[in-house]
Amino acid sequence: MTDNTFGKLLNVTSFGESHGLGIGCIIDGVPPKLPLSERLIQPYLDRRRPGTSKFVTQRKEDDKVEILSGVFEGKTTGTPISLLIRNKDQRSKDYGEIANQFRPGHADYTYQMKYGHRDYRGGGRSSARETAIRVAAGAIADMFLKHALGNSYQVRGAVIQIGPHAINRENMKWSERHNNPFFCPDAAMAKQWESYLDGVRKAGSSAGAILEITADGIPVGLGQPVYGKLDSELAAAMMSINAVKGVEIGDGFDLSAIDGSLASDEMRAGKSLETPTFLSNHAGGILGGISSGQQIVVRIAIKPTSSILSSRKSINRDNKNVDVITKGRHDPCVGIRGVPVAEAMMSLVLADLLMRHKAQCGFGDL
Amino acid sequence: MTDNTFGKLLNVTSFGESHGLGIGCIIDGVPPKLPLSERLIQPYLDRRRPGTSKFVTQRKEDDKVEILSGVFEGKTTGTPISLLIRNKDQRSKDYGEIANQFRPGHADYTYQMKYGHRDYRGGGRSSARETAIRVAAGAIADMFLKHALGNSYQVRGAVIQIGPHAINRENMKWSERHNNPFFCPDAAMAKQWESYLDGVRKAGSSAGAILEITADGIPVGLGQPVYGKLDSELAAAMMSINAVKGVEIGDGFDLSAIDGSLASDEMRAGKSLETPTFLSNHAGGILGGISSGQQIVVRIAIKPTSSILSSRKSINRDNKNVDVITKGRHDPCVGIRGVPVAEAMMSLVLADLLMRHKAQCGFGDL
Amino acid sequence: MTDNTFGKLLNVTSFGESHGLGIGCIIDGVPPKLPLSERLIQPYLDRRRPGTSKFVTQRKEDDKVEILSGVFEGKTTGTPISLLIRNKDQRSKDYGEIANQFRPGHADYTYQMKYGHRDYRGGGRSSARETAIRVAAGAIADMFLKHALGNSYQVRGAVIQIGPHAINRENMKWSERHNNPFFCPDAAMAKQWESYLDGVRKAGSSAGAILEITADGIPVGLGQPVYGKLDSELAAAMMSINAVKGVEIGDGFDLSAIDGSLASDEMRAGKSLETPTFLSNHAGGILGGISSGQQIVVRIAIKPTSSILSSRKSINRDNKNVDVITKGRHDPCVGIRGVPVAEAMMSLVLADLLMRHKAQCGFGDL
Amino acid sequence: MTDNTFGKLLNVTSFGESHGLGIGCIIDGVPPKLPLSERLIQPYLDRRRPGTSKFVTQRKEDDKVEILSGVFEGKTTGTPISLLIRNKDQRSKDYGEIANQFRPGHADYTYQMKYGHRDYRGGGRSSARETAIRVAAGAIADMFLKHALGNSYQVRGAVIQIGPHAINRENMKWSERHNNPFFCPDAAMAKQWESYLDGVRKAGSSAGAILEITADGIPVGLGQPVYGKLDSELAAAMMSINAVKGVEIGDGFDLSAIDGSLASDEMRAGKSLETPTFLSNHAGGILGGISSGQQIVVRIAIKPTSSILSSRKSINRDNKNVDVITKGRHDPCVGIRGVPVAEAMMSLVLADLLMRHKAQCGFGDL
């Protein structure tokens, strides 16, 4: 992961700004002969699309992706796949005021100081709009993994907390995610979030969230110790998503507080050495940086949207004090639309590591 | 960060196993003319050295580092610096039993399944012994940063929680860390940990910990969005440390629960645009993946040492159920010696990003 | 340089096929505040454009480049720059026959065997059409170098041999390149090539070429020994151009045959240590992999276009013998249009190494 | 290939100076379960060892390699393999004079200007002594390829020209290489070189050479277009060897002069699509950057040793004119000992590309 390229073998290089001509990426290293078309990618994008409920930004983008290369007669050719999404609904005039002042919590100040010149419209490159293209790239990784690992493979994400309101894990049903606009797996909590977020929205404020992303059907062996560990790659991937401020694997921070005798996951023999029974999964499916064959479990903390309607103290480019009110159209809780993005990053990490594993360990007994 | 190489411009490639001939690394990309000698590196290593108190492993290693290349007449030459620490006190006989069985919570099972052949002695490559060489490499990064950034630069780490016992932040004094064997900045809590860990040790169990690592004197501008963000690189670096299961930046997971109006850090004009006053630091010194000039704040969760003396259920290489008792000499709380390691990773990330920033943004007005 | 990405700090990832929707690239790492627009890039592309004389392919492409990102108000922002050239004049029907048979000398057979699925139209990804986007990327590198190094910097390329006919170096005048369709710096030889290539074209055959590319105004110090040597990077860059089969630096192969006392370049003191006088330049401006401050000199050998109208023995996908006649529109000598491509690669290598040098050696006395 | 790391998946990071404590490397990515020991590597090193005849340097180094990690019970474990060769016979006093003056043709001037501080003894990092460790690393790549590709796989190198004296290809017998100290495959020419080099040596001068390196048994499909082409990687690898100034693939520069109808290699059907018969091999076994299944053929030009006993004009660090006579012990023709080095680089490139191919194309029909 360096600068604008993510991944080592299956790698994604992205481009684009919030209010520029569009966003896109080149995905290199995709295996050949994978069925692929715009039609297959679109459903992934639709899950992240803005404007789908009152709890996300009202910007209208159809997020139609165009495949510019790397696919021939409906299948990948092994050459780079370029994806392009043209921006449609840029209302840059909303941003005239921020050309010369820095919105607190945003990247306005740091981009200005780092580069000396920035596309301030809608946050430019620092906007979460860039994550749409991650979802498109992640779709390809997901489809590759489905073909390579079979039906038991599955990546799923959910919002498990919004503001101070966490789901009740006993009520957790993955299928419930599709029945509410929050990717919430707890039907009762979804109701509660609705009224909570209505309040937040009306107050001109915003809320944070915690997301959980899991992967099933991952074979033992993925992860390249010691610096390309599966948990390390996941942490980098998740922390690269806008507004994410924390990542934990398995029981994460809670593990710090419990006794060693309770912390590790005991094993019992299964049908084969590849399929033992683990009596718990505190480690989140990763031991020594390598997948154990258990479910991979990651949780991420997302801060409240920094763009809020109440006035905030800041400075401008002339180094004068100013008060900033962030207009524009914003998600009251960016965490919600973060779900498909985090799923995409999970898929991209796993696909890349599957290929790296294959490269080194795929030669059998030498 | 891929496999055994960490960093892009200032990069470290490490090698070695717990009970092999030794551990070492090659550090490439270090700027020339930096004063360097074994004598300058050794104090960093001494802080992590085993056998220094009853709360860490009793393995006796003097951890004397040898510089094999890249330094001439006391200064770096810009060519690769190779560091070597010979192992001394390998008691591999302690590990005979684990050749064929898998210790729960350890990487025994995953290494065996990934590679089909492993050096099981003391965990081999998966042992935290590897982290000694990170400390040596981090020492070089730290010295480079001191020269490049000046006296305000400082990286510091502390243990802020062991087991369920967190420090009282009102009592926090960085200087206090040097007065106890726990890198604890709260004198009263250090006392409490002493008796708590005595109990843990006598019970043949282990404890987890939470560490906080900060960096001061970091100029605005470090971090390469969107995938080489400062927080992303830090997360990868920290999560690559053995037993780390969680990483957060600034207020981290707590940020998810608070109102948006409280979450972002307001600004007031300072002497120059480079030195504004921030009214808070919820973001931990990073905005949009780029350092803001504030203190960088990272916290990591470390799970309890998996090697404990009580019997644990597991399987062996013949896929039979077995009970495992882990002998050998172990840290009752690996988090303690994690402090200099986490500091080293912080320094390595910052040094690498400083060079990457210089490369792209060091040409002035074009 | 890996797969479809070229360069370490200033890196280019390209995509696209000869008869797909278009070709393009993402250039990451460009310093901010560099003046940039389509208008500034276009002249570089026009030098390589097809259809400009009867000695190059008659395919009609206007090669208009579109900047999709990374530029705001006429200047680079330091974020990735995406370039797109839509294909216009794809006559894919010319290629129906090669769907199932392999043109000798082309990549048809190797792509089919490597990937199992290929876009055969016009050679797909293996077509020299991809080089148009290198020219566009190289234009940005060239403009960056002009700003960073000043007026003495200059990259120039010329054809110095076509078929068996080499220029007379005593007649060599760089300015002459602009007066003929061959980038030939020897007016008399240009005339000769015209009649020679007319004959080749009419015979339905093709001709090879040797190109020379030089760089002036390059300061001493560029190149990263030992595997990122300037000559090593140049060799990789040049050999990645379609049809190139040989690369030499300075006197190259001729150096093998001369006496050691004649081979190295003696020095005399100049105004400063940075500007010595070299009494010769056998080494082509590179010593130990690092630029010496002299003119950089590279020569490359380009094989004759493999697409010729005479019948050639080959096989098809059913492993049957076939005779192949390559229709379509082709350059009788691909070497000619290779000049702007090779110049672009030279600029890209130099810009990348300038940034790598800055990153490591730009911190002054530590 | 960047700075001191070579390769993407099977990568080698080297360190060490001519007169430092030693040279070494870390090889990362080697597949597990490959039989490996010092005893297996040593024969490769012995072929390159100094002091074996009067035609190579008289420095006495036994070049005994020590494996520090990555091997357990005689087999690789998939973790990084560190190799170390301690220097023995450093006669640094021979080099006192060059501390402050620059030997023409050497890297003294460029290292000084790039880094501002250099280990001048024996050329420091720029010395060909570094190539010993490439040979050791290449030995591992070669053994891996033998296991992975089987008995038909073979990499061979020979000197085919010394000074102006080229072998007669009709007399070429690979086995003859072992019967003379020149790796010469032409018995008659070996005799002639002996007297020629005697003259060169006595005159205090030196000679250049041309080497040919081939690889047999390479399957179709290795090489990652468009920037990771097999020929591009080979060119970079070969050009990174000290004193190499030219690289060509197949017929190389000669291809520029011949007619297109003679340049490409016609095909006839063989037993299967994987094993066609090519009627010639002008392309040196590479089409479109991908191995064709034919013999890979590379030739490299090596300049005469720059260290000669006759006086040469130069300057010193005070920017004064000086006359330099290079004492020390030197190869009259460095090309000779370049053979095992070039073979090693060939093996390293092929092993890396085999793994990269496996990673992307090893998943079968998706």
Task: Give dist(CA B347, CA B360) in Å, integer.
Answer: 20
Q: Do D68 and B15 touch (CB under 8 A)?
A: yes
> Is there a contact between C244 and D283 (Cβ–Cβ < 8 Å)?
no
Model confidence at D124: pLDDT above 90:
yes
- State how far Cα A62 lies from the chain centre: 19
**Residue among C29, C225, C366 minimizing CB distance to B360:** C29
Chain B residues touching D23 at Cβ < 8 A: 69
Measured in degrees and rounded to the nearest 5, phi and psi for residue A101 equal -135, 160
Task: Give dist(CA D171, CA C328) in Å, integer.
Answer: 44
Nearest to C363 by CA among B215, B346, B362: B362
**Residue among B34, B147, B360 minimizing CB distance to C355:** B360
Q: Do C225 and D106 touch (CB under 8 A)?
A: no
Q: Do B255 and A320 touch (CB under 8 A)?
A: no
Locate B338 and state its tokens. Answer: 């994690």
Q: Between A and C, how many residue pairs show a Cβ–Cβ distance under 8 A? A: 146
> Is there a contact between D77 and B117 (Cβ–Cβ < 8 Å)?
yes
**Residue among A20, A28, A82 minimizing CB distance to C24:** A82
Q: Which residues have a Cβ under 8 Å from the Cβ of C191 and sit 6 or more positions away?
A: none
Contact status of B34 with chain C (Cβ, < 8 Å):
yes
A5 burial via Cβ count (<10 Å: 0-12, 13-18, 19+): buried
Helix (H/G/I), strand (E/B), else coil: C145: helix
What is the nearest CA distance from D31 to chain B, expressed in angstroms?
A: 8
Q: In degrees, to the nearest 5, what angle opens at C-alpha B322 toward C-alphas B318 and B326? A: 115
Model confidence at D28: pLDDT above 60:
yes
CA dihedral D6, D7, D9, D15 (to 10 degrees): -10
Locate A120 and state its tokens. Answer: 């301030």
Confidence of residue C244 (pLDDT cuts 50, 70, 90): very high
Model confidence at B237: pLDDT above 90:
yes
Maximum separation of any 2 CA atoms in chain B, in Å: 70
By C-alpha distance, the chain C residue nearest D130 is C226
Measured in degrees and rounded to the nearest 5, phi and psi for residue A139 equal -60, -40
Contact status of B16 with chain A (Cβ, < 8 Å):
no
Helix (H/G/I), strand (E/B), else coil: D164: coil
**pLDDT 10s digits, A140-154:** 999 999 999 999 999
**Adjacent-strand bridge partners of A209:** A162, A302
**Residue among D28, D116, D119 minimizing CB distance to B4:** D28
Confidence of residue C95 (pLDDT cuts 50, 70, 90): low
Which pLDDT score is estimated for A329? Answer: 66
Chain B residues touching A361 at Cβ < 8 A: 114-116
Model confidence at A137: pLDDT above 90:
yes
Burial A29-40 (b: 16+ CB within 10 A, else e): bbbbbbebeeee
**pLDDT 10s digits, A201-251:** 899 899 999 999 999 999 999 999 999 999 999 999 999 999 999 999 999
Which pLDDT score is estimated for D52? Answer: 74
By C-alpha distance, the chain B residue nearest C353 is B359
Q: Scanning the structure block, which residue is given the tokens 């030992």?
A: C226
- DSSP state letter for C207: B
Task: Give dist(CA C164, CA C337) in Å, integer.
Answer: 18
**pLDDT 10s digits, D168-177:** 999 999 999 9
> Mean pLDDT, to the nearest integer, of B106-129?
95
> Is there a contact between D209 and D162 (Cβ–Cβ < 8 Å)?
yes
Task: Give dist(CA C79, CA B248) in Å, integer.
Answer: 26
Q: Between A and B, how many residue pairs show a Cβ–Cβ distance under 8 A? A: 391
Neighbours of chain D (3+ CB pairs under 8 A): A, B, C
CA dihedral D113, B361, B282, A4 (to 10 degrees): -100
Task: Give dist(CA D14, CA D34) in Å, integer.
Answer: 21
Nearest to B356 by CA among B12, B5, B135, B29: B29
> Mean pLDDT, to the nearest integer, of C187-201?
95
Q: In degrees, to the nearest 5, what angle opens at C-alpha C355 toward C-alphas C354 and C358? A: 90
Residue A109: C-alpha distances to residues A104, A317, B83, B227, C259 (Å):
8, 9, 40, 19, 62
End-to-end CA distance of chain B: 31
Nearest to A122 by CA among A329, A325, A318: A329
Contact status of C362 with chain D (Cβ, < 8 Å):
no
Which pLDDT score is estimated for C325? Answer: 84
Measured in degrees and rounded to the nearest 5, phi and psi for residue A212 equal -120, 130
Which pLDDT score is estimated for A140? Answer: 98
Contact status of A29 with chain B (Cβ, < 8 Å):
no
**Amino acid, single-letter form, for residue B311:** S
By C-alpha distance, the chain B residue nearest D86 is B68
Contact status of C29 with chain B (Cβ, < 8 Å):
yes
Q: Do B289 and A205 touch (CB under 8 A)?
A: no
Q: Do A80 and C24 touch (CB under 8 A)?
A: no
What is the nearest CA distance from B43 to chain A, expressed in angstroms?
A: 24
Q: What is the mean pLDDT of chain A?
A: 94
Q: What's this model's pTM, rounded to 2 decimal places?
A: 0.97
Chain B residues touching D84 at Cβ < 8 A: 68, 84
Q: What is the mean pLDDT of chain B?
A: 94
**Residue among B228, B247, B320 minimizing CB distance to A235:** B247
Which pLDDT score is estimated for D92? Answer: 61
Helix (H/G/I), strand (E/B), else coil: D149: helix
Rg over alpha carbons for chain D, rounded to the nearest Å, is 21
Task: Give dist(CA C246, CA C210) in Å, integer.
Answer: 9
Q: Which residues have a Cβ under 8 Å from the Cβ of B248 and sit 6 or more positions away?
A: A245, A246, A247, A253, A301, B298, B299, B300
**Amino acid, single-letter form, for residue C107:** A
Q: What is the 3-state secondary structure (H, E, C) of chain B?
A: CECCEECCCCEEEEEECCCCCEEEEEEECCCCCCECCHHHHHHHHHHHCCCCCCCCCCCCCCCCEEECCCEECCEECCCCEEEEEECCCCCHHHHHHHHCECCCCCCHHHHHHHHCCCCCHHHHHHCHHHHHHHHHHHHHHHHHHHHHHCCCCEEEEEEEEECCEECCHHHCCHHHHHHCCCCCCCHHHHHHHHHHHHHHHHCCCCECEEEEEEEECCCCCCCECCCECHHHHHHHHHHCCCCEEEEEECCHHHHHHCEHHHHCCCEECCCCCCCCEECCCCCCCEECCEECCCCEEEEEEECCCCCCCCCEEEEECCCCEEEECCCCCCCCCHHHHHHHHHHHHHHHHHHHHHHHHHHHHCCCCC
Helix (H/G/I), strand (E/B), else coil: C244: strand
Nearest to C251 by CA among C209, C293, C299: C299
Residue D323 is inside which H or E element, if any? strand D321-324
Q: Scanning the structure block, which residue is given the tokens 């919430």?
A: A184
Q: Do D266 and C303 touch (CB under 8 A)?
A: no
Model confidence at A56: pLDDT above 80:
no
Residue C67 is inside which H or E element, if any? strand C66-67
In this structure, of A46-50, C249-253, D361-365, the range with the lowest mean pLDDT score is: A46-50
Task: Give dist(CA D177, CA C50) in Å, integer.
Answer: 49
Confidence of residue D364 (pLDDT cuts 50, 70, 90): confident
> Is there a contact between C196 and C163 (Cβ–Cβ < 8 Å)?
yes
Measured in degrees and rounded to the nearest 5, phi and psi for residue C130 equal -55, -25
**pLDDT 10s digits, D80-103:** 999 999 998 776 666 677 899 999
What is the nearest CA distance from A103 to chain C, expressed in angstroms?
A: 19
Residue C161: C-alpha distances to residues A45, C339, D220 (Å):
53, 12, 32
Which pLDDT score is estimated for B95? Answer: 67
Task: Give dist(CA C235, CA C247) in Å, integer.
Answer: 6
Contact status of B116 with chain D (Cβ, < 8 Å):
yes
What is the nearest CA distance from C73 to chain D, expressed in angstroms?
A: 32
Task: Give dist(CA D16, CA C242) in Å, integer.
Answer: 37
Helix (H/G/I), strand (E/B), else coil: C119: coil
**pLDDT 10s digits, B248-257:** 999 999 999 9
More confident residue, C91 or D41: D41
Chain C residues touching B79 at Cβ < 8 A: 225
> Is there a contact between A320 and A188 (Cβ–Cβ < 8 Å)?
no
Locate A224 and state its tokens. Answer: 């390249």
Q: Scanning the structure block, which residue is given the tokens 């420091």?
A: D124
**pLDDT 10s digits, C118-160:** 999 999 999 999 999 999 999 999 999 999 999 999 999 999 9
**Adjacent-strand bridge partners of D2:** D5
Contact status of B17 with chain D (Cβ, < 8 Å):
yes
What is the nearest CA distance from A36 to chain B, expressed in angstroms?
A: 25
Model confidence at B135: pLDDT above 70:
yes
Q: Do B22 and D69 touch (CB under 8 A)?
A: yes
> Mean pLDDT, to the nearest integer, of D208-233?
98
Nearest to B142 by CA among B174, B241, B134: B134
Residue B336: C-alpha distances to residues A205, B139, B251 (Å):
40, 18, 22
> Is there a contact between C36 and C128 (Cβ–Cβ < 8 Å)?
no
Helix (H/G/I), strand (E/B), else coil: D116: coil
Which pLDDT score is estimated for D290? Answer: 98
Q: Do B68 and D15 touch (CB under 8 A)?
A: yes
